[in-house]
Amino acid sequence: MATQVFKIADTFRKDVKYTFCPGCDHGVAVRLVAEVLEELGLKEKAIVAAAIGCSVTIYDFLNIDALESPHGRAMAEATGIKRARPDKFVFTYQGDGDFASIGLAESMHAALRGEKISAICINNTTYGMTGGQLGPTTMVGQVTTTSPTGRNLEYYGYPIKVAEHIALCDGTAFSARVSLDTVANIRKAKQAIKKAFEVQLKGLGFGFVEILSSCPTNWKMTPEQAHDRVRNEMMQVFKPGIYKDITEKSGK
């Protein structure tokens, strides 16, 4: 008798259809979030603060409570929700432009205050929804629509490494960077998301996961080439790994 080893998580709405571009890793990230919510039994008590950008559409796909926030303020809104309803499970799902550019102050201070919320940041080194402009995580030399000759170090400076910065904040309980370029890395990403959600459930502090994702449309690549770029270029600059995990220390 065959056993079912994969199914669409119950957290998804019925007849869900993604509106992402073909080959976009957002689809995988949303699915991992849905699977972790189901595994931890959080469907009824989860509230997501949706951000601006491609990540906003998460509330169209998941059958959980959601609130839409203005540009970059998902973390401020999540703080408000969590303080008003501490019994709820609150998380944000943001892109790099939202988390690390316009919302950097909110994100950083939420981590410094040790808010008991979880955050997921999709890093695709560009502003995806608005047409592939230069963002805070754009790599040195990368061609975007607003840097046609490549990111110039003298003019634009260096990209931000979010996971390392969040790990430096004392209120952070868990900070990791993961990638979605291979199936093995997708499984690791799921473990990291689970950990970031668990630190909130245990009341330890801020849980954060940065996910390296592809954007085939704005990189003007095929989905396969985009994954090669994640592997060969992005993962060399943005090194995957767990940068802070306070549960690990206390366990030893």
Partner 1 sequence: MSNIVIDESRCKACYLCIKECPKKLIKVSERTNNLGNNVVEFCDPDHECLGCAMCATRCPDLAITEVYRG
Of 164, 210, 165, the C-alpha closest to 25 is 210
Residue 78 found at the interface with partner 1 (CB under 8 A): no
Of 158, 160, 163, the C-alpha closest to 206 is 163
Query: Binding residue for partner 1 (CB under 8 A) from 24, 46, 120, 211?
Result: 24
Alpha-carbon gap, residue 134 to 136, rounded angstroms: 7
Q: Given the complex with partner 1, which of 134 and 180 has the nearer CB atom?
A: 180
Contact track, partner 1, 207-246, x by CB under 8 A:
---------x------xx--x-------------------
Q: Given the complex with partner 1, which of 187 and 202 has the nearer CB atom?
A: 187
Q: How many residues does the chain have?
A: 252
Among 3-11, 76-84, 117-125, 169-177, the segment contacting partner 1 (CB under 8 A): 3-11
Residue 171 found at the interface with partner 1 (CB under 8 A): no
Among 5-13, 66-74, 100-108, 170-178, the segment contacting partner 1 (CB under 8 A): 5-13
Which residues are CB-contacts of 191 (< 8 A; sequence separation ≥ 6)?
none
Residue 20 found at the interface with partner 1 (CB under 8 A): yes
Residue 14 found at the interface with partner 1 (CB under 8 A): no
Query: Binding residue for partner 1 (CB under 8 A) from 149, 155, 183, 252?
Result: 183
Contacts by 84-90 with C-beta closer than 8 Å and gap 24+? 85/47, 86/116, 87/45, 88/45, 88/46, 88/47, 89/42, 89/45, 89/46, 89/47, 89/118, 89/197, 89/200, 89/201, 90/46, 90/47, 90/48, 90/49, 90/117, 90/118, 90/200
Residue 3 found at the interface with partner 1 (CB under 8 A): yes
Residues that bind partner 1 (CB under 8 A): 1-8, 12, 16-18, 20-28, 31, 183, 186-187, 216, 223-224, 227
